């Protein structure tokens, strides 16, 4: 394909995307001349170029569309749902032809359907043109026949075939049926208001913009303004990838220069300058890869419109945060999961209008699509106010499908139950879908999102609706990872699957790793966790049994296991580099990366490690370490003396086991030197003083973040990480502060701001754990 054609295809696609957005908007604002002009321009451009390139099929099609649009633009015709449907059909066919040109180089043959579509477009233009120009009063009489096929049309087939390539239009009534009507507003605004309709509109969609909230947000700020074209230019993604690589190279060279020149003052200055420029450059290149999510969102109004029509539902789509930017490759990657989620929301979430009305909800369902930044992630939410999921039904189904044992199912809390919909077995049976409201391919959604280092969360209330939250890293190329060592080699473990770290010092290893025949196990807060030794898995020279080691506790697609490694290095943001096919085939590696110090590391793939080590799917996994959900919070449950206390998990930085000799005093207050900082320690019960005779004794200290400072709290034992429920104060309806319900027991939450006054007692604990709550470090 020559450059000109390629350019043409790109340009036409952009035009059609714009057209799609405008068309769905047009339903609510049929008289908006600017929208009409925009649509006209898109089609006109295609027509103009196709003639030149000799694509006759495209030319004929776009010509028909242009004629119709010309009338609309000039106000000789008013847009109505029929016309919009016709134009959407045209758009689909144009897209199909473009696709065919791109793949085969030719337009492909489909003349029959083409002429039917062209006839339909001419029909629309003729019928309504006469009507709009003639007296509107007569419209009612004239309009009805105008919708039927006219035999005198030479190219008409008599029947209008709505030939749309996608499968999701099958439920759409024939296009010449006014009953297909779009939003009521569009109908009212049209001059043929009085036209007798054969039957009332079964479904009406006001896809976007009916409510001012969404309207305030232009759908694609850059694309929609013609002026933007002058200041932007199209760049090949390959080129950007290459630039990204070169910047990576530059960063490494810079690091080496900085090391080599650290002694010379002049060079140090230059080095710092180089440092700054490099950092800026890197950021700019990354920025160049970012696109607003509106590029993705813009296709959903159409999807919602078509689905709602097909399902006889009324759905209003609200979109927020369209300007939120995401790496291009990630946008592509979440396209399918998001489409799937929206389909689910409409298909299974939103009820039929009569059901909704019976339940006291507005007849029109609401699907809200929201994107926003949260730290180094972008959150994309699909929220519907539909039927929600019944916890009981999910529980039943899960037991029926033997995904969990009945006993376990009884013990699981609501959140754990909801997680079950992501299990592969849960989604396969169709029967499940009409039960739970969700479930078709939810495991696929989760797998796809996790593939790019993201996470999926779900929150649902029966009768009130469901929120599905996709948590996506900002860029695909860069992921946070923990660097681990095994037999002198570096490996990177993606933070996304890392839940916890446990350190074992020399000598402890033998006692604390338990063996059941050949299976190594670790007792994590009373539960047995299968262990995988990285050195054995990779057939590296084995380490000594008693050597110190670290266990990285991983959760890979519901498989939980501990990966035993020699040691840990710092967490790092790594740039993922693809591996050659011969190495990909090994399966354990997801890629390679170059670390900040110039060394290379292989990126481990926890999923395939778990699979190969035969770690079974823990469908009953305590996903207690997942992120917070609305109204819930995860806590670190600790024992202080003989009391239980809860620490909000997101504040916990580390849990350290420290010899008492390292605890010093500033005045009367105990302090701890921790990573070069002084940490105020809570020791209200003064037990540290009594016990400090024995300098060998150790204390478990939970290091927490309290605003900008870090504080330490001594505890006797770490019991669990668990989700807590908010408690309502009786009678007030307000949330009771300072306490939560953990394991069905009311537990006090430690107020970190008042650290010196906390009542916590230290004893020598039995278990030193090192959970680093993800992202807290």
Partner 1 sequence: MSDVHASPTQEVCSVQVGDTLYGVPIAHVLEILGKPATQPVPLAPYFVGGLVHYRGEVLTAVSLRRLLGMEPAKTPEDVLVFENPDGLFGLFVDSVGEVLHVSQAEHEPNPATLEPRRQQLFAGAWKLKDRLLVSLEPERLDPMRLASAFPA
Residue 261 in contact with partner 1, rule: CB under 8 A: no
Q: Site for partner 1 (CB under 8 A): which residue of 352, 435, 583, 617? A: 583
From the CB of 583, what's the least distance to partner 1, in Å?
6
Answer for which of 407, 539, 642, 668 binds partner 1 (CB under 8 A) is 539
* Binding residue (CB under 8 A) for partner 1 from 41, 401, 503, 577: 577
- 580 binding partner 1? (CB under 8 A): yes
E-strand ranges in 576-668 read 589-594, 600-604, 632-640, 643-648, 652-659, 663-666
Distance of CA 183 to the CA centre of its chain: 30
Alpha-carbon distance values, 686 to 139, 683, 717 (Å): 91, 5, 17
Q: Report in angstroms how near the CB of residue 249 gets to partner 1 at its nearest.
A: 4
For the chain, how many residues are written? 777
Residue 603: closest CA among 614, 612, 594? 594
Binder among 522, 588, 635, 674 for partner 1 (CB under 8 A): 588
CB of 771 to partner 1, least distance (A): 28
Query: Which residue, 475 or 499, is less far from partner 1 as judged by CB?
Result: 475
Contacts of residue 687, Cβ cutoff 8 Å, sequence gap at least 6: 641, 761, 762, 763
Closer CB to partner 1, 209 or 278, in the complex: 278
Q: In this chain, which of 581, 731, 732, 766 binds partner 1, going by CB under 8 A?
A: 581
Kind plus residue range of the DSSP H or E element containing 38: helix 33-53
Among 540, 633, 726, 764, binds partner 1 (CB under 8 A): 540
* CA-wise closest residue to 377 among 327, 427, 426: 327
CB nearer partner 1, residue 597 or residue 777: 597
- Which position among 134, 194, 246, 279 is part of the footprint of partner 1 (CB under 8 A)? 246
Footprint (CB under 8 A) of partner 1, residues 309-368: none
Cβ at position 245, least distance to partner 1 in Å:
3
Least gap, CB of 736 to partner 1 (angstroms): 54
Applying CB under 8 A, which of residues 602, 655, 701, 713 lies at the interface with partner 1? Answer: 602
> Which of the 8 DSSP states describes residue 219?
S
Separation between Cα atoms, residue 540 and residue 518, nearest integer Å = 18
Task: Give yes or no for residue 244 binding partner 1 (CB under 8 A).
Answer: yes
The separation between CA 487 and the C-alpha centre of its own chain, rounded to angstroms, equals 36
Closest separation in Å from C-beta 122 to partner 1: 50
Least Cβ distance, residue 364 to partner 1 (angstroms): 52
d(CA 521, CA 632): 31
* Residue 331 to residue 290: CA distance in whole angstroms: 9
Q: Print the binding letters for residues 52-71 with partner 1: x by CB under 8 A, - otherwise.
A: --------------------
- The residue among 279 and 666 lying less far from partner 1, judged by its C-beta, is 279
The nearer residue to partner 1, 579 or 617, going by C-beta atoms, is 579
Looking at residue 346, what DSSP letter applies? I
Site string for partner 1, 463-502 (x = CB under 8 A): --------------------------xx------------
Report how far residue 550's alpha carbon sits from residue 533's, in angstroms, rounded to the nearest whole number: 10
Reading the block at residue 768, the tokens are 């030193």
Closest CB 748 distance from partner 1, rounded Å = 49
Question: What backbone torsions phi and psi does residue 166 show, to the nearest 5 degrees?
Answer: -85, 155
Angle of helix 81-104 relative to helix 111-133, nearest 10 degrees, comes to: 150
Output the smallest distance, CB 552 to partner 1, in A: 17
Size of the site for partner 1 (CB under 8 A): 31
Binding piece for partner 1, criterion CB under 8 A, among 62-70, 231-239, 398-406, 582-590:
582-590
- Exactly one of 258, 521, 538, 691 binds partner 1 (CB under 8 A); that residue is 538
Q: Is 579 in the site for partner 1 (CB under 8 A)?
A: yes
* Residues in region 168-187 near partner 1 by CB under 8 A: none
Least separation in angstroms between residue 573's CB and partner 1 is 15
DSSP 463-529: TTEEEEEEEEES-SSEEEEEEEEETTEEEEEEGGGEEEEEEE-TTHHHHHEEEETTEEEEEETTEEE
Q: What is the DSSP letter of 662?
A: G
Give the 3-state secondary structure percentages of the chain, helix then strand then coil, rounded to 5: 40, 25, 35
Q: Which residue has the tokens 């701001």?
A: 753
β-pair partners for 640: 643
**CB under 8 A: which stretch of 82-90, 218-226, 465-473, 588-596 binds partner 1?**
588-596
- Write out the residues near partner 1 by the rule CB under 8 A: 244-249, 252, 489-490, 538-540, 577-583, 585-586, 588-589, 592-594, 598-602
């Amino acid at each position: 394909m020559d450059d000109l054609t390629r350019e043409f295809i790109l340009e036409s696609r952009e035009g059609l995307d714009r057209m799609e957005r405008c068309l769905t908007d047009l339903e609510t604002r049929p008289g908006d001349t600017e929208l009409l002009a925009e649509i006209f321009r898109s089609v006109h451009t295609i027509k103009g170029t196709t003639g030149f390139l000799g694509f006759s099929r495209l030319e004929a099609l776009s010509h028909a569309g242009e004629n119709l649009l010309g009338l609309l633009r000039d106000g000789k015709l008013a847009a109505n749902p029929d016309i919009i449907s016709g134009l959407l059909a045209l758009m689909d066919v144009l897209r199909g032809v473009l696709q065919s040109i791109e793949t085969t180089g030719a337009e492909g043959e489909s003349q029959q359907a083409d002429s039917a579509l062209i006839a339909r477009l001419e029909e629309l233009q003729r019928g309504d043109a006469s009507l709009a120009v003639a007296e509107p009063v007569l419209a009612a009489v004239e309009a009805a026949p105008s919708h039927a096929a006219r035999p005198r049309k030479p190219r008409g087939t008599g029947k209008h075939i709505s030939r749309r390539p996608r499968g999701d239009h099958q439920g759409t009534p024939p296009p010449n049926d006014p009953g297909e009507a779009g939003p009521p507003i569009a109908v009212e605004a049209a001059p043929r208001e009085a036209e007798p309709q054969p039957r009332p509109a079964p479904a009406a969609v006001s896809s976007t913009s009916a409510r001012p909230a969404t309207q305030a947000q232009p759908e694609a700020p850059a694309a929609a303004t013609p002026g933007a074209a002058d200041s932007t230019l199209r760049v090949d993604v390959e080129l950007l990838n290459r630039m990204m690589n070169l910047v990576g190279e530059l960063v490494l060279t810079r690091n080496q220069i900085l090391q080599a020149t650290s002694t010379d003052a002049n060079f140090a200055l230059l080095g710092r300058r180089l440092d700054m420029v490099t950092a800026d450059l890197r950021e700019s290149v990354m920025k160049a890869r970012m696109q607003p999510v509106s590029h993705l969102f813009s296709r959903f109004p159409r999807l919602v419109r078509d689905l709602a029509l097909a399902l006889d539902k009324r759905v209003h789509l609200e979109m927020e945060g369209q300007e939120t930017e995401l790496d291009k490759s990630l946008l592509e990657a979440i396209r399918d999961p998001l489409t799937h989620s929206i389909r689910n929301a409409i298909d299974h979430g939103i009820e039929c209008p009569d059901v909704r009305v019976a339940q006291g909800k507005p007849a029109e369902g609401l699907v809200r699509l929201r994107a926003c930044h949260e730290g180094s992630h972008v959150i994309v939410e699909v929220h519907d106010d539909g039927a929600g999921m019944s916890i009981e039904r999910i529980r039943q189904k899960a037991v029926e499908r033997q995904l969990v044992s009945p006993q376990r199912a009884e013990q699981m809390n609501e959140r754990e139950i909801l997680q079950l919909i992501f299990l592969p077995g849960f989604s396969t049976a169709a029967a499940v879908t009409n039960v739970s409201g969700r479930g078709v391919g939810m495991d696929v959604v989760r797998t796809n999102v996790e593939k790019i280092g993201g996470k999926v969360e779900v929150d649902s209330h029966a009768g009130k609706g469901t929120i599905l939250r996709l948590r996506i890293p900002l860029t695909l190329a860069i992921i946070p990872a923990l660097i681990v060592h095994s037999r002198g080699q570096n490996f990177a473990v993606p933070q996304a699957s890392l839940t916890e770290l446990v350190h074992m010092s020399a000598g402890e290893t033998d006692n604390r790793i338990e063996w059941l025949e050949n299976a190594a196990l670790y007792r994590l807060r009373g539960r047995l966790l299968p262990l995988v030794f990285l050195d054995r898995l990779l057939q590296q020279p084995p380490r000594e049994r008693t050597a110190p080691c670290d266990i990285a506790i991983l959760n890979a697609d519901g498989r939980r296991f501990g990966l035993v490694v020699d040691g840990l290095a710092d967490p790092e943001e790594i740039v993922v580099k693809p591996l050659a096919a011969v190495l990909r085939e090994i399966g354990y590696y997801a890629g390679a990366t170059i670390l900040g110090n110039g060394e290379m590391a292989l990126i481990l793939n926890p999923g395939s490690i778990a699979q190969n080590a035969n770690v079974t799917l823990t469908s009953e996994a305590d996903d207690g370490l997942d992120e917070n959900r609305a109204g819930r919070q995860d806590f670190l449950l600790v024992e202080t003396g003989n009391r239980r206390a809860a620490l909000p998990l997101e504040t916990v930085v580390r849990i350290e086991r420290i010899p008492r000799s390292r605890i010093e005093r500033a005045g009367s207050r105990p302090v701890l030197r921790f990573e070069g900082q002084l940490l105020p320690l809570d020791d209200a019960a003064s037990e540290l003083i009594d016990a400090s005779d024995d300098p060998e004794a150790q204390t478990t200290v939970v290091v927490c973040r309290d605003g900008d400072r870090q504080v330490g709290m001594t505890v006797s034992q770490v019991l669990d990480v668990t989700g807590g429920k908010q408690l309502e104060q009786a009678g007030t309806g307000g949330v009771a502060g300072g306490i939560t319900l953990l394991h069905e027991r009311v537990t006090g939450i430690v107020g970190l701001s008042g650290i010196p006054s906390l009542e916590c007692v230290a004893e020598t604990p039995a278990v030193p754990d090192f959970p680093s709550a993800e992202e807290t470090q």
